[in-house]
Chain A
Amino acid sequence: MFREITLGQYYPADSILHRLDPRVKLFGTLIYIIVLFVASEPISFGVITAALVAVILISKVPFSYMTKGLSGIVMLLVIAGIFNLFMTPGIPIFTWGPLTITDIGLKNAATMVIRMVYLIVGTSLMTLTTTPNQLTDGLERSMRHMSKLGLPVHEIAMMMSIALRFIPILVEETDKIMKAQMARGADFESGGIIKRTKAMVPILVPLFVSAFRRASDLAMAMEARCYHGGEGRTKMKPLTYTALDRVAYLVILVFLAVIIVLALM
């Protein structure tokens, strides 16, 4: 019942995108996000759409996986879209009673919805093709110069990878606890808000207890295997760029250049 959560989920497949170095994908995603918010002309969006579709096809991840993340923000999209649509001043193109749609309103609403949808689809594409481990490895490598400024880069990366690793575990745990309580006649669906909130207690208490227990077990297991932070720690599989990654960087830069040229024209 709770297992549908897809946050940070990895989809195993054998595609070029899966084989790319995580740093390339992080860089690509960063460029993509910037471009998405800088672009405003239809032609730019056309290029972005073409690029997105191409990457989706290369990734071999079923399209439904990328849209799963959208269901959570549908309401937000609708409300923001409506506000943009009706509340923006400009030349009216459609009037119905007190409601007026202006040309700028229409453009703003469309741009906003496209940006949000593309943002979610694009970023989930990255998490779907990159394992949490690769992702944090990539982040740690890309940010390693920051550690000279006193930023605990390794610790942040480690915390992130543990957090990502714990999401599915906690989801599974919640599922088991809910079942155990349902077997004792618990009812999570009926009743008013107070009754339903109260019904959550038998789930939350064991969940927290087990989360703390797991955390301390993990800490102990790490210490037992001599974990002592990032200092002097080497990787079993150090990240190295291949020819594929260099080509990918080139493609990303070309994409960026095209968007800049289009914006200047």
Chain B
Amino acid sequence: MSIILDHVTYTYSAGTAYEVKALDDVSLKLSDGEFIGIIGHTGSGKSTLIQHLNGLLKATSGAIYFNGQDIYDKDFDLKGLRTRVGMVFQYPEHQLFETTVFEDVKYGPKNQGLSDKEATNRAFDALSAVNFPDEYFDQSPFELSGGQKRRAAIAGVLAMEPDVLILDEPTAGLDPKGQRDLLTLIRRMHKESERTIILVSHSMEDVAEYVDRIIVMDDGKVFLDGTPETVFSHVTELEERGLAVPQVTYLMEELKGRGIPVEGHATTLKSAKEEILRLSRAGALHV
């Protein structure tokens, strides 16, 4: 499974006085089984970019290929694409509508043509996967708290068992434990089923910790694309673009600045700890 974007440009309200060029000549290849993080300042085009991946927005110019097929082709099955590329939107309350949470989660599987029984199974699994409390299964989705709504909405997409899962700031509005649980769940889904995961996030720590590849958006363009180590080695460039690097990376830079021979670019707590232990064993921590 691969998604290729070929010189994709997207302009909102093209041809009017309110024109906004949200994507500017973006070319990317997203391969099977990757865990990708997308970061970028507010309004850099992250949400616009991911809405192209399942054909919700049609590029103003450029082409997108899903498994080698042009998704803008007349005979291309867009509805099929949308059930294979699942998307959790930035604001989950936009999708809840049923009388109960459980029914709402069943909506996607039912649209896929599954029987009521299968849909029920899927819904049950998905709600358990996101640790949604059982006692609220039959509650109206509008009476939930923000974090519970988010979990219900995520379950609604998970229940469709998509091959590619896109999440737009899924941890916003969750408590710290909820954030960790959700990210752990996403990592587990990535490991176990080799699913492609695309995670949009404003937390540098989260992307450093969980993803294998980071795409940095800046004013509609891809500014950096690489592993967390390479991306987060561009400290000043990222800061100039309203971003940052993980706290531990700052710490390691600071140590380096004090003349300690730090090697590499630690981006997670774990790798920083290892590096510091290594330095300590080598007796290099005393300045």
- Give the B-binding residues of A (Cβ under 8 A): 3, 11-13, 173, 176-177, 179-187, 201-203, 205-206, 209-210
Contacts and interface: CB of A to CB of B under 8 A. Distances in A.
15 contacts: A12-B17, A176-B94, A177-B94, A179-B51, A179-B89, A183-B56, A183-B87, A183-B89, A184-B95, A184-B156, A184-B160, A206-B94, A206-B95, A206-B96, A209-B93
A206 B111 contact: no
Contacts of B13: 3
Output the residue of A179, A185, A202 with the most chain B CB within 10 A: A185
Interface residues of B, number: 26
B228 interface: no
Nearest to A10: B17
A183 B160 CA distance: 10
B89 A184 contact: no
B157 interface: yes
Contact of B94 (A11, A180, A186): A180
Contacts of A3: 13
A177 B111 contact: no
A186 B108 CA distance: 8
Contacts of B56: 179, 182-183
A214 B89 CA distance: 19
Interface string B151-184: 0000011001000000000000000000000000
Contacts of A181: 95, 97
A181 B110 CA distance: 12
A203 B94 CA distance: 9
A79 to B, nearest CB: 31
B97 A202 contact: yes
A179 B47 CA distance: 12
A13 B17 contact: yes
A203 B111 CA distance: 15
Given A177-B94, A187-B79, 14 more contacts: A3-B13, A11-B17, A173-B94, A180-B95, A183-B82, A184-B111, A185-B112, A185-B160, A187-B111, A202-B97, A205-B98, A206-B94, A209-B93, A210-B93
